[in-house]
Protein backbone atom coordinates (compact mmCIF):
# COMPACT_ATOMS: atom_id res chain seq x y z
CA UNK A 1 0.00 0.00 0.00
CA UNK A 2 1.44 3.34 -1.03
CA UNK A 3 1.17 6.78 0.55
CA UNK A 4 1.02 10.09 -1.30
CA UNK A 5 2.09 13.15 0.64
CA UNK A 6 3.74 16.54 0.29
CA UNK A 7 7.37 16.27 1.35
CA UNK A 8 10.61 18.21 1.78
CA UNK A 9 13.98 16.50 1.44
CA UNK A 10 16.00 16.92 4.65
CA UNK A 11 18.84 14.49 3.94
CA UNK A 12 20.18 12.67 0.89
CA UNK A 13 23.08 10.25 0.60
CA UNK A 14 24.29 7.94 -2.13
CA UNK A 15 23.34 4.29 -1.78
CA UNK A 16 24.75 3.15 -5.10
CA UNK A 17 25.63 4.66 -8.46
CA UNK A 18 21.96 5.07 -9.25
CA UNK A 19 20.13 5.06 -5.91
CA UNK A 20 19.88 7.23 -2.79
CA UNK A 21 18.84 6.98 0.84
CA UNK A 22 16.54 9.90 1.57
CA UNK A 23 15.03 11.42 4.69
CA UNK A 24 11.88 13.34 3.89
CA UNK A 25 9.59 15.40 6.08
CA UNK A 26 6.14 14.44 4.84
CA UNK A 27 3.28 16.69 5.89
CA UNK A 28 0.88 13.97 7.02
CA UNK A 29 3.36 11.14 7.66
CA UNK A 30 6.19 12.89 9.50
CA UNK A 31 9.82 11.91 9.02
CA UNK A 32 10.27 8.98 6.63
CA UNK A 33 13.48 7.26 5.53
CA UNK A 34 13.26 5.93 2.01
CA UNK A 35 15.37 4.10 -0.51
CA UNK A 36 15.12 5.92 -3.81
CA UNK A 37 15.92 3.18 -6.29
CA UNK A 38 17.28 4.63 -9.50
CA UNK A 39 16.58 8.23 -8.44
CA UNK A 40 19.95 9.36 -9.81
CA UNK A 41 19.07 8.21 -13.31
CA UNK A 42 18.11 11.18 -15.54
CA UNK A 43 14.94 9.38 -16.69
CA UNK A 44 13.84 8.32 -13.22
CA UNK A 45 10.41 9.28 -11.87
CA UNK A 46 12.13 11.89 -9.69
CA UNK A 47 13.72 13.47 -12.75
CA UNK A 48 17.27 12.82 -11.52
CA UNK A 49 19.00 12.68 -8.15
CA UNK A 50 17.06 14.35 -5.35
CA UNK A 51 18.80 17.07 -3.41
CA UNK A 52 18.32 18.89 -0.13
CA UNK A 53 15.44 21.41 -0.13
CA UNK A 54 13.59 19.54 -2.89
CA UNK A 55 9.88 19.85 -2.20
CA UNK A 56 6.97 18.21 -3.93
CA UNK A 57 4.58 15.28 -4.11
CA UNK A 58 6.06 11.99 -2.94
CA UNK A 59 4.64 8.51 -3.38
CA UNK A 60 6.23 5.94 -1.10
CA UNK A 61 5.59 2.58 0.54
CA UNK A 62 6.77 0.63 3.56
CA UNK A 63 8.02 3.63 5.57
CA UNK A 64 7.72 3.20 9.31
CA UNK A 65 9.44 3.95 12.57
CA UNK A 66 13.02 2.69 12.30
CA UNK A 67 12.46 1.14 8.89
CA UNK A 68 13.55 1.99 5.37
CA UNK A 69 10.70 2.37 2.94
CA UNK A 70 10.75 2.77 -0.83
CA UNK A 71 10.26 5.97 -2.80
CA UNK A 72 8.09 5.13 -5.78
CA UNK A 73 7.69 8.58 -7.31
CA UNK A 74 8.60 12.17 -6.57
CA UNK A 75 7.28 15.16 -8.50
CA UNK A 76 9.32 18.21 -7.59
CA UNK A 77 7.36 21.44 -7.23
CA UNK A 78 10.05 23.69 -5.74
CA UNK A 79 13.79 23.25 -5.18
CA UNK A 80 14.22 26.58 -3.37
CA UNK A 81 16.98 27.44 -5.83
CA UNK A 82 17.65 31.00 -4.50
CA UNK A 83 19.05 29.46 -1.32
CA UNK A 84 21.85 27.85 -3.33
CA UNK A 85 22.99 31.18 -4.78
CA UNK A 86 23.65 32.94 -1.47
CA UNK A 87 25.99 31.42 1.13
CA UNK A 88 24.27 32.93 4.19
CA UNK A 89 20.85 31.74 3.02
CA UNK A 90 22.25 28.31 2.15
CA UNK A 91 23.83 27.82 5.58
CA UNK A 92 20.66 29.05 7.31
CA UNK A 93 18.48 26.71 5.27
CA UNK A 94 20.74 23.72 5.91
CA UNK A 95 20.59 24.41 9.64
CA UNK A 96 16.79 24.49 9.46
CA UNK A 97 16.77 21.10 7.74
CA UNK A 98 19.18 19.56 10.25
CA UNK A 99 17.37 21.01 13.27
CA UNK A 100 14.02 19.71 12.03
CA UNK A 101 15.34 16.25 11.22
CA UNK A 102 17.14 16.00 14.57
CA UNK A 103 14.23 17.11 16.73
CA UNK A 104 11.42 15.00 15.27
CA UNK A 105 10.93 11.26 15.63
CA UNK A 106 10.31 9.06 12.62
CA UNK A 107 6.74 8.38 11.49
CA UNK A 108 5.34 10.96 13.93
CA UNK A 109 3.20 13.43 11.95
CA UNK A 110 3.75 17.14 12.56
CA UNK A 111 1.92 19.06 9.81
CA UNK A 112 2.53 22.32 11.71
CA UNK A 113 6.29 21.78 11.52
CA UNK A 114 6.05 20.96 7.83
CA UNK A 115 4.20 24.24 7.25
CA UNK A 116 6.69 26.10 9.45
CA UNK A 117 9.66 24.75 7.50
CA UNK A 118 7.99 25.35 4.13
CA UNK A 119 7.13 28.95 5.00
CA UNK A 120 10.58 29.61 6.47
CA UNK A 121 12.34 28.32 3.34
CA UNK A 122 10.06 30.39 1.10
CA UNK A 123 10.71 33.50 3.19
CA UNK A 124 14.44 32.82 3.35
CA UNK A 125 14.58 32.72 -0.45
CA UNK A 126 13.14 36.24 -0.76
CA UNK A 127 15.78 38.86 -1.49
CA UNK A 128 14.46 41.38 1.04
CA UNK A 129 14.44 38.84 3.90
CA UNK A 130 17.47 38.88 6.20
CA UNK A 131 18.51 35.36 7.28
CA UNK A 132 19.00 36.01 11.05
CA UNK A 133 15.39 37.11 11.78
CA UNK A 134 13.99 34.32 9.60
CA UNK A 135 16.04 31.80 11.56
CA UNK A 136 15.08 33.33 14.91
CA UNK A 137 11.35 33.04 14.19
CA UNK A 138 11.87 29.49 12.89
CA UNK A 139 13.85 28.29 15.91
CA UNK A 140 11.45 29.96 18.33
CA UNK A 141 8.37 28.32 16.80
CA UNK A 142 10.05 24.94 16.30
CA UNK A 143 11.11 24.75 19.96
CA UNK A 144 7.71 25.90 21.19
CA UNK A 145 5.94 23.31 19.02
CA UNK A 146 8.19 20.61 20.47
CA UNK A 147 7.29 21.74 23.99
CA UNK A 148 10.89 22.69 24.76
CA UNK A 149 10.40 26.42 25.16
CA UNK A 150 8.09 27.85 27.78
CA UNK A 151 7.54 31.29 29.25
CA UNK A 152 10.75 33.33 29.15
CA UNK A 153 9.38 36.37 30.95
CA UNK A 154 10.29 35.30 34.49
CA UNK A 155 13.09 33.61 36.41
CA UNK A 156 12.55 29.85 36.49
CA UNK A 157 13.83 29.75 40.06
CA UNK A 158 12.08 32.53 41.97
CA UNK A 159 9.39 33.52 39.46
CA UNK A 160 10.37 37.19 39.50
CA UNK A 161 10.92 39.31 36.42
CA UNK A 162 14.61 38.98 35.55
CA UNK A 163 16.81 42.08 35.86
CA UNK A 164 18.20 43.90 32.84
CA UNK A 165 21.71 42.59 33.48
CA UNK A 166 23.31 39.44 34.88
CA UNK A 167 20.65 37.12 33.48
CA UNK A 168 21.54 33.50 32.79
CA UNK A 169 19.85 31.02 30.45
CA UNK A 170 19.81 27.41 31.65
CA UNK A 171 18.59 24.75 29.27
CA UNK A 172 18.34 22.25 32.13
CA UNK A 173 16.16 24.69 34.10
CA UNK A 174 14.08 25.43 31.02
CA UNK A 175 14.58 29.17 30.80
CA UNK A 176 15.99 32.33 32.37
CA UNK A 177 17.55 32.52 35.81
CA UNK A 178 18.47 35.56 37.87
CA UNK A 179 21.98 35.77 39.25
CA UNK A 180 21.09 34.30 42.65
CA UNK A 181 19.01 31.42 41.28
CA UNK A 182 21.68 30.58 38.70
CA UNK A 183 24.21 29.61 41.39
CA UNK A 184 23.25 25.93 41.33
CA UNK A 185 22.39 25.63 37.63
CA UNK A 186 23.75 22.61 35.74
CA UNK A 187 24.42 24.75 32.68
CA UNK A 188 24.81 28.48 32.31
CA UNK A 189 24.75 30.75 29.27
CA UNK A 190 25.05 34.50 29.77
CA UNK A 191 22.17 36.44 28.22
CA UNK A 192 23.14 39.85 26.77
CA UNK A 193 20.71 42.75 26.67
CA UNK A 194 20.17 42.20 22.92
CA UNK A 195 18.69 38.77 23.70
CA UNK A 196 16.36 40.19 26.33
CA UNK A 197 15.18 42.80 23.82
CA UNK A 198 14.63 40.07 21.21
CA UNK A 199 12.65 37.99 23.69
CA UNK A 200 10.37 40.93 24.33
CA UNK A 201 9.78 41.26 20.57
CA UNK A 202 8.94 37.56 20.34
CA UNK A 203 6.48 37.84 23.23
CA UNK A 204 4.79 40.76 21.49
CA UNK A 205 4.62 38.81 18.23
CA UNK A 206 3.14 35.84 20.07
CA UNK A 207 0.47 38.20 21.43
CA UNK A 208 -0.48 39.16 17.89
CA UNK A 209 1.55 42.32 17.27
CA UNK A 210 3.70 42.69 14.17
CA UNK A 211 7.12 43.97 15.18
CA UNK A 212 10.43 43.89 13.29
CA UNK A 213 13.40 42.00 14.69
CA UNK A 214 16.77 43.58 13.93
CA UNK A 215 19.71 41.48 12.74
CA UNK A 216 21.65 42.22 15.95
CA UNK A 217 18.78 41.13 18.19
CA UNK A 218 18.04 38.11 15.99
CA UNK A 219 21.66 36.92 16.11
CA UNK A 220 21.72 37.21 19.91
CA UNK A 221 18.46 35.27 20.18
CA UNK A 222 19.60 32.63 17.69
CA UNK A 223 22.68 31.92 19.82
CA UNK A 224 20.52 31.17 22.87
CA UNK A 225 17.93 29.13 20.98
CA UNK A 226 20.60 27.07 19.19
CA UNK A 227 22.34 26.45 22.49
CA UNK A 228 19.05 25.28 24.01
CA UNK A 229 18.24 23.03 21.04
CA UNK A 230 21.65 21.37 21.04
CA UNK A 231 21.62 20.92 24.82
CA UNK A 232 18.26 19.18 24.60
CA UNK A 233 19.49 16.97 21.75
CA UNK A 234 22.69 16.16 23.62
CA UNK A 235 24.89 16.93 20.63
CA UNK A 236 26.05 19.71 18.37
CA UNK A 237 24.49 20.26 14.97
CA UNK A 238 27.04 20.18 12.16
CA UNK A 239 25.53 23.18 10.38
CA UNK A 240 25.28 25.42 13.45
CA UNK A 241 28.71 27.02 13.20
CA UNK A 242 28.17 28.29 9.67
CA UNK A 243 24.52 29.27 10.15
CA UNK A 244 25.12 31.20 13.35
CA UNK A 245 28.45 32.70 12.37
CA UNK A 246 30.05 31.58 15.61
Domain range for 164 is: 82-244
What's the whole-number mean pLDDT along residues 227-233?
Answer: 97
Q: CA–CA separation, 77 vs 100, rounded Å? A: 20
Q: CA–CA separation, 222 vs 137, rounded Å? A: 9
User: What is the pLDDT at residue 18?
Assistant: 86
User: What is the pLDDT at residue 27?
Assistant: 98
What's the whole-number mean pLDDT along residues 89-116?
Answer: 97
Considering the domain architecture, whether residues 55 and 154 belong to the same structural domain is answered as no
User: What is the pLDDT at residue 184?
Assistant: 85
Question: Among 25, 47, 79, which residue terminates a domain?
Answer: 79
Give the total number of structural domains in the chain. Answer: 2
Given a cut of 90, whether residue 163 has pLDDT beyond it is no
The pLDDT tens digits of the residues spanning 19-36 come to 999 999 999 999 999 999
Given a cut of 70, whether residue 43 has pLDDT beyond it is no
Q: CA–CA separation, 125 vs 71, rounded Å? A: 27
Q: CA–CA separation, 155 vs 193, rounded Å? A: 15
Considering the domain architecture, whether residues 35 and 121 belong to the same structural domain is answered as no
Considering the domain architecture, whether residues 87 and 157 belong to the same structural domain is answered as yes
Indicate the pTM of the whole model.
Answer: 0.93
What's the whole-number mean pLDDT along residues 131-150?
Answer: 95
Q: What is the DSSP string of 40-89?
A: TSTTSTTSS---TT-EEEEEEES--TT--EEEEEEEEEE--GGGGG-HHH
Considering the domain architecture, whether residues 115 and 236 belong to the same structural domain is answered as yes
Considering the domain architecture, whether residues 196 and 155 belong to the same structural domain is answered as yes
Considering the domain architecture, whether residues 115 and 36 belong to the same structural domain is answered as no
Given a cut of 60, whether residue 178 has pLDDT beyond it is yes
User: What is the pLDDT at residue 162?
Assistant: 83
What CATH number is associated with residue 233?
A: 1.20.1440.120
Considering the domain architecture, whether residues 37 and 99 belong to the same structural domain is answered as no
Q: Of residues 54 and 47, which shows the higher confidence score?
A: 54
Residues in the chain, total: 246
Considering the domain architecture, whether residues 73 and 90 belong to the same structural domain is answered as no
Confidence band, pLDDT 50/70/90 cuts, at residue 49: low
Considering the domain architecture, whether residues 133 and 55 belong to the same structural domain is answered as no
Given a cut of 80, whether residue 201 has pLDDT beyond it is yes
What CATH number is associated with residue 35?
A: 2.40.50.140
Question: Among 57, 79, 101, which residue terminates a domain?
Answer: 79
Considering the domain architecture, whether residues 102 and 217 belong to the same structural domain is answered as yes
Considering the domain architecture, whether residues 75 and 8 belong to the same structural domain is answered as yes
Considering the domain architecture, whether residues 176 and 192 belong to the same structural domain is answered as yes
User: What is the pLDDT at residue 246?
Assistant: 58
Given a cut of 80, whether residue 66 has pLDDT beyond it is no
H-state helical runs in 80-184: 87-103, 111-124, 131-145
Question: Among 79, 95, 126, which residue terminates a domain?
Answer: 79
Could you give the percent of the chain with pLDDT greater than 70? 96
Given a cut of 80, whether residue 41 has pLDDT beyond it is no
User: What is the pLDDT at residue 87?
Assistant: 96
User: What is the pLDDT at residue 48?
Assistant: 58
Amino acid sequence: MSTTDQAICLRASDYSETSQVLTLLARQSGLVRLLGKGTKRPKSKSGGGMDLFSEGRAVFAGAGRGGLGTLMEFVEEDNHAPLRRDLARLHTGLYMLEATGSLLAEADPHPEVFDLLHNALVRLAQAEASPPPVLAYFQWRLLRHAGLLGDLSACQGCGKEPPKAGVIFSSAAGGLLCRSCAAGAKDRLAVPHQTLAALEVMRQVQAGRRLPLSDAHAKALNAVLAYHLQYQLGRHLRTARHALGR
